[in-house]
Structure 1
């Protein structure tokens, strides 16, 4: 344990811990919206489609995360628009853009001349390589997301649970749907550095599912999600250090184990109450 604490002497580890805290905060807010609106599959489509932006950015010699952000936002807003105006089923739109983004990414990585980049960090994350610029981006998005949720909490909740009634009450449903699509897309992209494309969706789902065991209020779910995301992520870093495995995978494993243990405890308590 002392060896783990001593890791805080190193800048790269302090950056990793700060990244965990900021990513957990962003994921708690965005993930609660995603789970409440039941659009986890949409988020998966955005996550994987962003790989197309990474491949294209590599080919053009640009920052891969800039390319991922552009593709993610276009995918998120594209799903909203096509599913409503293109007369295409939403799940079909997601599948098309999901596979298209992955295909574009693979094609452009293959066409990139010279050294082929190591894609493992994008697929599985590399939280220990987070730099100061990454932290600034995370902090900026966490601040923007927090302010947006603070000022527009009620319409966000209304459009997540009952958009038809919200429209009748005068809420600008279309605006908030597109605004949240953009925030979801950006949150996914900035989290890729820590968790990777394959694992990032879990951070927007597992802590929220765990939080819903303790609360059914949107605001309380966010608070509980922060708690479980932070504790699970820090524990995942500790496990990764102890047995020398990828940190992103360790974090997701711990978050999942955390949920399963708590869910099992709830089941046991429920059975004991019934037996009395």
Structure 2
């Protein structure tokens, strides 16, 4: 059993994944705790899934995906923040609408884009094995 683990650790991408997951666990634990304590889990879910629209924009218009997703998510966060401050009693409805809008926009633009499409589900769930040193 341990021989298989040692064989696995000889592969550089597996070592990079193990080294990358350690700070990621600490960071996610801290941020996740802050999100839960401040009761913002639905906002975080809405923004992270809404970011998929930015991925779709990046692929469709051949833009850097990280930049397009970041800018799109920032715009969504500003809209959600404004709507929550203005209409406190209906915040869940706005967050749900932003969530659905971002996901739908991303799926539509990805389907309309031409050429090679990478594994787009990786942008939603990630892939620890693509970390580099």
* TM-score scaled by length of structure 1: 0.44
Q: Contact conserved, 1:110 with 1:116, CA < 8 A, in 2?
A: no
Could you say which residue in structure 2 is the equivalent of 1:49?
Answer: 50
Which residue number corresponds to residue 124 of structure 1?
Answer: 125
Counterpart in the other structure of 1:227: none
- 1:67-146 residue pairs with structure 2 within 5 A? 67-85=68-86, 89-132=90-133
Match of 1:214 in 2: none
2: distance between equivalents of 1:77 and 1:32? 22
Contact 1:82 1:88 in 2 (8 A): no
Cα drift, residue 65 of structure 1:
2.5
Count of residue pairs the alignment pairs up: 132
The separation in 2 between residues aligned to 1:11 and 1:73, in whole angstroms, is 35
For residues 69 and 4 of structure 2, the distance between their equivalents in structure 1, rounded to whole angstroms, comes to: 36
Provide the aligned C-alpha RMSD in A.
1.9
Superposed CA offset, 1:242-266 (max 9, x none)? xxxxxxxxxxxxxxxxxxxxxxxxx
CA distance in 1, matches of 2:72, 2:6: 39
Matched residues in 2 for 1:63 and 1:100: separation?
21
Q: Distance between the aligned counterparts of 1:68 and 1:82, measured in 2?
A: 21
User: Offset of 1:55 from its aligned partner?
Assistant: 0.6
Q: How far, CA to CA, are the matches of 1:52 and 1:113 in structure 2?
A: 17
- Residue equivalent to 2:63: 62
For 2:111 and 2:89, the matched residues in 1 are separated by 31
Q: What displacement does 1:11 show?
A: 1.6
Query: Per-residue CA shift, 1:179-235, capped at 9, x if unaligned?
Result: xxxxxxxxxxxxxxxxxxxxxxxxxxxxxxxxxxxxxxxxxxxxxxxxxxxxxxxxx
Relative to structure 1, the CA distance from residue 38 to residue 75 in structure 2 (aligned partners, 3 Å threshold; closer, same or farther) is: same
User: Within 5 A, what are the aligned runs for 1:197-208?
Assistant: none
Ranges in structure 2 where 5+ consecutive residues have no aligned partner: none
Relative to 1, partners in 2 of residues 1:131 and 1:105: Cα closer, same or farther, differing over 3 Å? same
CA gap 1:100/1:62 in 2 versus in 1, 3 angstroms: same
Q: After superposition, what is the alpha-carbon deviation per residue over 1:73-111, rounded to whole angstroms, capped at 9, x for unaligned? A: 222332122111356711011011101101110121112
| C-alpha distance in structure 2 between counterparts of 1:38 and 1:73, whole Å | 20
CA distance in 2, matches of 1:33, 1:89: 23
- Secondary structure in 2 aligned to 1:6? helix
2:49–2:124 Cα contact (<8 Å) kept: no
